[in-house]
Amino acid sequence: MDKFIIKGQQKLAGQIKVSGAKNSALKIIAATILLNDPVTISNVPDLMDVRTMKKVLEKLGASVEYSPKNSTMKIDPSTINSYRAPYELVKTMRASFQVMGPLLARFGNAEISLPGGCNFGPRPVDYHLKAFEQMGAKITTEHGYICAKVDKLIGNHIYFDFPSVGATENVIMAASLTDGVTIIENAAKEPEVVDLATFLKLCGAKIEGEGTSRIRIEGVKKLHARDFTVLSDRIEAGTFILASLATNSSLEIIGAPVFALEVFLEKLKDCGHDFEIHQNSLIVKPSKNPKAIKFTAQPHPGFPTDLQAPMAAYLSTVEGTSLITEGVYENRFVYISELNRMGASIELDGNKAYITGQDFLSGAPVMASDLRAGAALVIAALGAKGTTEINRVYHIDRGYDGLVAKLSAVGAQIERVVG
Ligand code: UD1
């Protein structure tokens, strides 16, 4: 298995470019199932998860050409002739479950293996299934597959107990090509949900209220393929900002979607840092004496749960005691033991982590347990004294496009050892 070797405390300088958003690209690729004609998606990041979603579409019968060099993906969904997303693919990536909505809407049939994904506690799909049942689908579980069937979906009034990103997106996709009006209450407001809605609207869908907690979708008979450029990745941008701060450096983050990072930047300002915002970039201005902060990871527009672990890694060496409350997932602190092995002092109490800032962390052999836990270890290693060996970096490859090359280019001493 590949690993990263990082020699910490190197100053970073220069410009680092943000790729397209993983969590937007994956759903937009899934949404092309709703179309009948070829379409080109641009700014598609080169990630394991994107390659997995490409394979899912190919398994369904679509023809897909991906050029990582140009970040473009050409998809011809007109040849789709299967409704089954197999275990080998869905087990590695939960987002493959997002093909259920489009398959049901277009073909009235979908068989999807129960999903896998990041290893941090239970992540059910009950909201997705309940919504599809409310829209008329009959759902059964057979041999590890969820099978959904319907003659024709019908719009309905859907309420989510929690603003689930995936369930909101799955229903938006299905409802776009469904008779009648669908209303989603307590919908997710994430920028990636808005990006998906923007793509579908460009293709002729009638969607209102995306970005708010009430989304109204009036189904249309047909959608028309329109080329689209994916939004930049706010989580990757946030990770680069933390890499800059952990090394007390002033990086310029090109393409940072500042509008989607408001609370994250606000919290870093509470630490004492500053940011110079330009039209297409953000320059990090680190404070010499940053202070501890408190925050709660919440659905958008709250602090993003995907930046919770990288932020904890950064706060490990910030003076005072910081407090993080996790409000989205039951168990998203599995990385703490690894940070503590590097000298961090983090105590867990239920869904709260108390971080007492240390003078420094020290390099150690560590293991990534999931994607964002892996990003946290990279942040910790960049700021630590000595050398850190990060194992199981396949988790990091799921969500960071060319991380080693991008960080090396701004002065980090990071290398991938192929194993
Ligand atoms: C997406 C993101 C992920 C991010 C998360 C929250 C993708 C590919 N992934 O994941 O990076 O961390 O949003 O911002 O876009 N839940 C249920 N039942 C369901 C669905 C969700 O109980 O049917 C719960 C989950 O267990 C979790 C919470 O709702 O506790 C939020 O999950 P959700 O917003 O659906 O996350 P994903 O779409 O899987």
Specify the pLDDT at position 94. Answer: 85
Q: Which domain holds residue 91?
A: 22-229
Is it the case that residue 411 has pLDDT exceeding 90?
yes
Separation of alpha carbons 319 and 321, rounded Å: 7
- Higher pLDDT, residue 122 or 212: 212
CA of 297 to the centre of ligand 1 (A): 13
Do both 65 and 211 map to the same domain?
Answer: yes
H-type alpha helices, 232-289: 234-246, 262-271
Do both 220 and 320 map to the same domain?
Answer: no
Half-sphere CA count of 189, side-chain side, radius 13 A: 15
Specify the pLDDT at position 118. Answer: 53
Residue 330: pLDDT band (50, 70, 90) is confident
Q: What is the mean pLDDT of the chain?
A: 96
Residue nearest to atom 13 of ligand 1 (CA): 165
Nearest to 240 by CA among 71, 87, 12, 65: 12
CA of 165 to the centre of ligand 1 (A): 6
The strand pair at 345-349 and 365-367 is best described as: unpaired
Residue nearest to atom 22 of ligand 1 (CA): 124
Tokens encoding 71:
């970040």
Q: 244 exposed, middle or buried (CB, 10 Å; 0-12, 13-18, 19+)?
A: buried
Separation of alpha carbons 23 and 188, rounded Å: 13
Please identify, by atom number, the ligand 1 atom nearest to the C-alpha of residue 122: 26
Specify the pLDDT at position 122. Answer: 59
Is it the case that residue 189 has pLDDT exceeding 90?
yes
Do both 201 and 278 map to the same domain?
Answer: no
Q: Which of 328, 333, 334, 335 is the pocket-test mutation for ligand 1 (most atoms within 8 Å of CB)?
A: 328
| Domain end call among 189, 210, 229 | 229
Specify the pLDDT at position 115. Answer: 75
Is it the case that residue 206 has pLDDT exceeding 80?
yes
Specify the pLDDT at position 120. Answer: 54
Q: Taking residues 186-193, what's their average pLDDT?
A: 98
Do both 193 and 295 map to the same domain?
Answer: no
Do both 15 and 61 map to the same domain?
Answer: no
Q: Taking residues 215-239, what's their average pLDDT?
A: 98
Residue 253: pLDDT band (50, 70, 90) is very high
Please identify, by atom number, the ligand 1 atom nearest to the C-alpha of residue 23: 15
Do both 57 and 12 map to the same domain?
Answer: no
Q: 386 exposed, middle or buried (CB, 10 Å; 0-12, 13-18, 19+)?
A: middle
- Residue-wise pLDDT for 53-95, tens only, equals 999 999 999 999 999 999 999 999 999 999 999 888 988 888 8
Do both 262 and 368 map to the same domain?
Answer: yes
Q: How many domains does the structure of the chain reveal?
A: 2
Q: Taking residues 215-222, what's their average pLDDT?
A: 98
Is it the case that residue 316 has pLDDT exceeding 90?
yes
Residue nearest to atom 25 of ligand 1 (CA): 123
Nearest to 253 by CA among 219, 284, 279, 228: 284
CATH number at residue 130: 3.65.10.10
Do both 27 and 51 map to the same domain?
Answer: yes
Give the CA angle between residues 244, 249, 255 to the nearest 5°: 50
| Domain end call among 229, 249, 284 | 229
Q: Taking residues 27-34, what's their average pLDDT?
A: 98
Ligand 1 first shell, C-beta below 6 A: 23, 26, 94-95, 123-128, 162, 164-167, 188, 305-306, 328-329
Residue nearest to atom 5 of ligand 1 (CA): 165
Please identify, by atom number, the ligand 1 atom nearest to the C-alpha of residue 166: 38
| Amino acid letter for position 110 | A
Name residues whose C-beta falls within 8 Å of residue 132's C-beta, 6 or more positions apart in sequence.
Answer: 100, 101, 104, 139, 148, 150, 153, 170, 171, 174
Residues comprising the chain, all counted: 419
Catalytic positions are: 118
Do both 174 and 53 map to the same domain?
Answer: yes
Separation of alpha carbons 240 and 238, rounded Å: 5
How many beta carbons lie within 10 A of that of residue 392, not counting itself? 17
CA of 11 to the centre of ligand 1 (A): 36
Q: Which helix (H) or strand (E) holds 323?
A: strand 321-326
CA of 190 to the centre of ligand 1 (A): 11
CA of 412 to the centre of ligand 1 (A): 32
- Higher pLDDT, residue 120 or 412: 412
Do both 238 and 225 map to the same domain?
Answer: no
CA of 195 to the centre of ligand 1 (A): 17
Residue nearest to atom 37 of ligand 1 (CA): 166
Is 157 in contact with 184 (CB distance < 8 Å)? no
Q: Which of 93, 112, 161, 165 is the pocket-test mutation for ligand 1 (most atoms within 8 Å of CB)?
A: 165
| Domain end call among 229, 251, 277 | 229
Do both 195 and 301 map to the same domain?
Answer: no
Specify the pLDDT at position 119. Answer: 56
Do both 246 and 109 map to the same domain?
Answer: no
